[in-house]
A and B are shown apart, each in its own frame.
Chain A
């Protein structure tokens, strides 16, 4: 049970099922047993289309390797989720720009991912996760590819976002990162081993 507005870390050694859990939470993968309620709605046996709609409206993703589209500029990357929501182009650009400013990258809007540093890329990715105003952000090793200074910046940004009321789930294997969260959920062999506050 993750409450609204929480900042939760999921920890576990490799093979413990972190990524699988994240994918289930992100509606990127179906599950066989148990139940998953998102905003009080059952997510079991969701159709492709419905899953895509929930993803687009309720969830934002942040990945370890950023997963920006390499041939699109920062602004275009941020605007992409809105494209799939059918938001008109002008409004898309404006909203994407607003979120880029929020992560401090307004001046980098026209740059391609390979023209920016890792930290900047991750900030673009966070802006992209935020742009559709999701309720939950799922971050998979968001600092895994960053040095410690940049990691702190990114975590700081995530905490700021969390303070605005967005639920954030961070999957990580770094204690340093996990400690910054409200709560840590530890996984072992696909089961929750311990959940402490």
Chain B
């Protein structure tokens, strides 16, 4: 239907008033551009926050201790509360069934060295269950196992970033297995390599057996953290479990029931829920703003189309006198509108995407990373805009062809 002649005719007409065409195109391009950039920034924020806070697993609860603020049963305020191996053992007994449990000893900023290369990374002493709880994704070798913990072995499972940083360029995860690294000055053998997609800190960590870490690095039986898997438990179930565990721990560690700083239990299930809500809200907001931008653009386009058609009333009369049918004229105006919208929409889409790509290297931040566009939603926006354009062109076009050429061609 749309052959070369029609295209030439459309192109000719669209280009006949560059300023008008430019302004119409600009309003559409700008609308799509803003939509794309906003969406991109939104996803950037979401990705960034997820990378910072998100170990991918969300189905576990975490016990941590700090400084108790309130005096309680003869204990002074502002005292350090600690969790020991024995406490964790008691906790295990107390809970009916535990799908997975891992004690953790954390040493941030530990020097890890491989041959002449070294860097500062996080070291985590863990139990074998940590693999399941943290959903550690091994790319080679194995995770810390029972025997490592029982025998205080010096085995290490290193993150993908450490492999990339310290090992020769292009070293495969498999090639690192069996190599020796120095962790805080002590020699460990690499038994596994993992890679956690979309998480910045995970990949800069070394997992070592929990017992080894206590023995070599903290030289005490203090447990920094306990992670307990919640399996398929519902949010409500994990809430109940969290609060009853909290009560039990306060009692065990002699912490005032109102004290929030002495010992606390983080329910990752709940946190994940909150993040979901926050991002749901942000997404909704961005869509709202995007839709409003589109609406403003669409109204601009409708307005311009109305003016354009009005301006061309006489031309339409001439075309009719020369043998054009009303249908062919309406079709031409609609095709012009679609052509203009698609071209300028694509320009907006491309420049928006290009800007996002361009800023990527400069905006990397804890809470902002890898802004990108949901291409499908951008295309959907373009379609909506085009439909609006067509709809807004049809009205004035029909009115224009219904004007008799007699009147259109009058000179007054």
Question: Measuring CB to CB, which residues of chain A are less than 8 angstroms from any residue of chain B?
Answer: 19-20, 23, 26, 28-29, 48-49, 52-53, 55-57, 61, 63-65, 67-72, 76, 80-81, 83-85, 89, 128, 132, 140
Contacts and interface: CB of A to CB of B under 8 A. Distances in A.
B331 to A, nearest CB: 12
A132 B405 contact: no
Contacts of B4: 89
Nearest to B321: A61
A67 B325 CA distance: 18
23 contacts: A23-B404, A23-B405, A23-B406, A26-B321, A28-B404, A28-B406, A28-B409, A29-B404, A48-B326, A52-B320, A52-B326, A53-B323, A55-B321, A57-B323, A63-B409, A67-B321, A70-B16, A71-B13, A71-B16, A72-B12, A83-B5, A83-B9, A84-B322
A84 to B, nearest CB: 4
Contacts of B319: 80, 84
Secondary structure call for the B interface: helix
B328 A65 contact: no
Contact residues on B (Cβ < 8 Å of other chain), bracket? 20 to 34
Nearest to B401: A48
Contact of B323 (A69, A70, A84): A84
Contacts, number: 72
A69 B315 contact: yes
B324 A52 contact: yes
B320 A28 contact: yes
**Which of A23, A67, A85 has its CB near the most chain B CB atoms (within 10 A)?**
A67
Interface string B306-325: 00000000110111111111
Nearest to A84: B323
A61 B317 CA distance: 12
B96 interface: no
A12 to B, nearest CB: 16
Contact of B322 (A49, A61, A140): A61
